[in-house]
Amino acid sequence: MVRSNDEVAALLAEYADLISITGGEAYRARVYEKAARAIGGHHADVATLDLKGLQEIPGVGRSIAEKVTEYFRSGSVQAVEELRAKIPAGVRRLTAVPTLGPKKAHVLYEQLGISSVDELADAVHAERLRDLKGFGPRTEERILHGIELLRSAGDRVLLDVATELAEDLVARLSEVTGCLRCAYAGSLRRVRETIGDIDVLAAARTSAPLMRAFTGLPYVTEVVAHGTTKTSVRTDRGLAVDLRVVPPDSWGAALQYFTGSKAHNIRIRELAVRQGLKLSEYGLFDVESGARIVSETEEEVYARLGLPWIPPTLREDRGEIEAGTAGDLPDLVQESDLRGDLHTHTDLTDGLAPLESMVAAAAERGYAYYAVTDHAPDLSMQRMTDERMLAQREQVRKLDGERGGRGRRAGMRLLHGTELNIGPDGEVDWPPEFLAGFDLCVASVHSHFGQSRAEMTRRIVRACENPYVNVIGHPTARVIGRRPGIDADLDEVFAACARTGTALEINAHPNRLDLRDEDILRARRHGVRFAVDSDAHSVLHLAHIRYGVGTAQRGWLTKDDVINTWPEARLRRFLRKGRTERTRRGTGVPP
């Protein structure tokens, strides 16, 4: 079921877009954007809060709180409806295209009468946009790429949306009398970055009670097909869900079969055929006699075929079968291996929670160390200054000392860092003498996404060569379904990271998951180290780290590849080494 917080966050984000489209104040739009993020990340259900409770959420003032209560009282907000009425539906449809902002969408509608994505694609191909102010060949290129992103996304949703729904489904169905086992399978179990539909598998001797419970769930909006072994529904998240019920003694074979991928399963079935066997969702059978050999667990299915159990995140036919045959499967990094989080934000910049709350939540996760990395001054909307950052450093050191006073070996150490902006020429926000005071620096691209391939490559390589940059944050700057990754020679970037001792981030936020698994595989071959970080902007976001770990697994990473699985002493040596060795090589920057 859609969370009330998510409903309200989507409404406020839409209102911010409507303000921009109608020429409203940019500051006012940003206020609603921040409030949308705050409500989406708030721990309590906003439907249960009164006006005063709503105003206690950071970034939510009285006017916004009143709109929220109006929404829950009447099902709509008059101010939003008024702006919706001013804007043609076609313009709002165009704003769904990644890279196309609301103002440009309005221009296209007003001047060319474009009111659909198909019309926009036709206009670009006919070069009709080039005569408009602010449009040109590069803009057309980006719009076409945005249309491709939109069309390829289809009905797919982000990983966290699908995971939340699937885990609730499994929990509810597991309580049904007669359900012996229940799990989700498919691309979600393989931790793909977007999910088209959810496959749920259950084991029971009779399927009827499970099918009744499934179709009666509160978020089921349509029963597409109803049967004894498979039932399909649609949910209010827009996701299709298939429930398959198998006999208990077929569980392992069915879980392997329905987890996929298709390419992996084809290879596994080929192995079976070469051994005179046949593999289906019901078991592994001898072809001649028809006798079932194994079926109860995945482990025994793989073992009978001469393989170790292959983790679901590797099942993409990217060498996992050959590695399994040779005994070379990696011991994949696990969430429990992480000793800390190296990229997080507070309400000093664009985060939603104060420093103390973020630190306390990180400590509850059992971390050995935790880095606070608020934005630096080149992102002007964050209003960062030297004085504000130094005041935060003093606060971090004080909190670190207090935790150390209770027994430093058992406590969580705090690192004071920053997320620097990589400028168009590869420069970063602060001079070397200021950067020297940070425990670590994450550097990320936040603007000028349209640079040429050569310019973008040179820009990131130069940031890697800065002796104070320890991690390149969300390296391709993509936002899934909304913004494509930058155009850079990634192999040159990966080589620079390996040469300079700069880690690459696997940003765990579900709308980034950046680096992608394919890029991780390439970077790993260069000898790069990685940091799996949450990029948390609220307490709830800290839990996103699980999606980064899944992505790291899909990239075949072990815990030795990931710097924030290391003990603090080893991590600090890595962070210092990046400065001293590169300085000795003649960067001209003092240590």
pLDDT band at residue 132, thresholds of 50, 70 and 90? confident
pLDDT score at 591: 33
Phi, psi at residue 552, to the nearest 5°? -60, -40
The neighbouring-strand residues paired with 203 are 181, 246
Q: Residue 409's CB: how many other CB atoms inside 10 A?
A: 6
- pLDDT per residue over 403-418, tens digit each? 654 433 458 999 999 9
Cα distances from 552 to residues 443, 556, 584, in angstroms, run 20, 7, 32
- pLDDT per residue over 409-458, tens digit each? 458 999 999 999 999 999 999 999 999 999 999 999 999 998 999 999 99
- pLDDT per residue over 209-264, tens digit each? 999 999 999 989 999 999 999 999 998 877 899 999 999 999 999 999 999 999 99
Q: Is residue 127 part of a domain?
A: yes
**Are residues 403 and 303 located together in one domain of the fold?**
no
Looking at 87, 109, 142, the residue that finishes a domain is 87
State the Cα–Cα distance between residues 5 and 68, nearest whole angstrom. 10
**Amino acid type, 270:** E
In three-state secondary structure terms, 280 is: strand
Q: What is the 3-state secondary structure (H, E, C) of 147-215?
A: HHHHHHHCCCEEHHHHHHHHHHHHHHHHCCCCCCEEEECHHHHCCCCEECEEEEEEECCCCHHHHHHHH
**Are residues 278 and 419 located together in one domain of the fold?**
no
459 burial type by CB count under 10 A (0-12 exposed, 13-18 middle, 19+ buried): buried
Q: Is residue 591 part of a domain?
A: no
Q: What is the CATH number of the domain that holds 319?
A: 3.30.210.10
* Pairing assessment for the beta strands 181-184 and 197-203 based on DSSP bridges: antiparallel
**Are residues 259 and 275 located together in one domain of the fold?**
yes
**Are residues 260 and 234 located together in one domain of the fold?**
no
Question: pTM to 2 decimals?
Answer: 0.82
The structure tokens listed for 50 are: 């009164």
Looking at 246, 269, 299, the residue that finishes a domain is 246
The total number of structural domains that make up the chain = 5
- pLDDT per residue over 307-339, tens digit each? 999 999 999 999 999 999 999 999 999 999 999
Angle between the N-to-C axes of helices 62-74 and 26-40, in degrees from 0 to 180, rounded to the nearest 10: 60
- Residue 168: domain span: 157-246
State the Cα–Cα distance between residues 458 and 487, nearest whole angstrom. 11
Q: Does the pLDDT at position 299 exceed 50?
A: yes
**Are residues 486 and 577 located together in one domain of the fold?**
yes
The neighbouring-strand residues paired with 241 are 198, 233
**Are residues 35 and 181 located together in one domain of the fold?**
no
Phi, psi at residue 483, to the nearest 5°? -145, 125
Q: What is the CA radius of gyration of the chain?
A: 26
Closest listed residue to residue 214, CA positions, set 186, 242, 193, 189: 242
